[in-house]
Amino acid sequence: MKKIECAKLLKNLLKKYHPDTRGEKHQDQIYGEITIQLTSALNKLRTDKTQPVFLDGNKNKNIDYIYYRRGIQYYQDIHPSKFYNRNHDGTYQAKPREDLSRAIKDTLISFALAEFYFNKIIEEYPRSPWLEDSKRKIQLLKKLYQRYSNMNSHGGYTIDSKQFVKQMGLKIL
């Protein structure tokens, strides 16, 4: 990925995660911090005098494969273990609030980058052997995003009680 493409990606992510464009007022702080990090990365890219080409150094010159691997890398970074610490007795405990906020930000960025790379394959490489898997990954990302979007920085979820009862197989007496 050339410097120009990387700058476009960062600008798109800035538009997507800027607090003013989000309707979720309870997560303004998280989106604000994401915006600060993305702005910092964009400024660093603009002031860097070298022309970094992220694809150089890769032995495989199949660009669609490189995009697929990048998508997989960010896809694998989306995991609930980021939000919990495992105790010695095998139970889990929510991470402290500061760590949890950071984990949520990192996860949102991973969602956006994974989606970007998989969409790049879908849009630009229709004959790629990784096309169908990229489409499946996009569908899974959408489902995962719905679950993660209900998470708050206090370590809890906002869920519908009827949905919870149904998912748990409980009966109301």
| 157 touches 151 (CB < 8 A) | yes
Quote the pLDDT of residue 51: 39
For every residue of 20-36, which 3-state class applies, written as one string? HHCCCHHHHHHHHHHHH
User: Where residue 163 falls among pLDDT bands split at 50, 70, 90?
Assistant: low
Question: In the predicted model, is pLDDT for residue 143 greater than 60?
Answer: yes
Residue 5 CA to its chain's centroid (Å) = 18
What's the chain's Rg over C-alpha atoms? 19
Residue 93: strand, helix, or coil: strand
> What is the pTM for the complete model shown?
0.54
Q: Is the pLDDT of residue 75 over 80?
A: yes
List Cα–Cα distances, 38 to 13, 51, 113, 158, in angstroms.
7, 19, 12, 27
Flag whether pLDDT at 149 surpasses 90: no
pLDDT higher at 144 or 30: 144
* Amino acid (1-letter code) at residue 148: Y
- Cα separation of 40 and 32, whole Å? 12
- The predicted model gives 152-161 an average pLDDT of 52
Mean pLDDT confidence for 53-63: 57
Report the percentage of the chain scoring pLDDT > 90. Answer: 18
Is residue 10 scored above 90 in pLDDT?
A: no
Check: CB of residue 135 under 8 Å from CB of residue 124: no
CA 158 from centroid of its chain's CA atoms = 20
Query: Which one is predicted more confidently, 18 or 75?
Result: 75
Joined together, the tokens standing for residue 145 give 């995003």
> What's phi and psi for 92, nearest 5 deg?
-120, 145
Average pLDDT, integer, range 100-123: 87
pLDDT digits (tens, 9 = 90+) for 21-32: 766 666 666 767
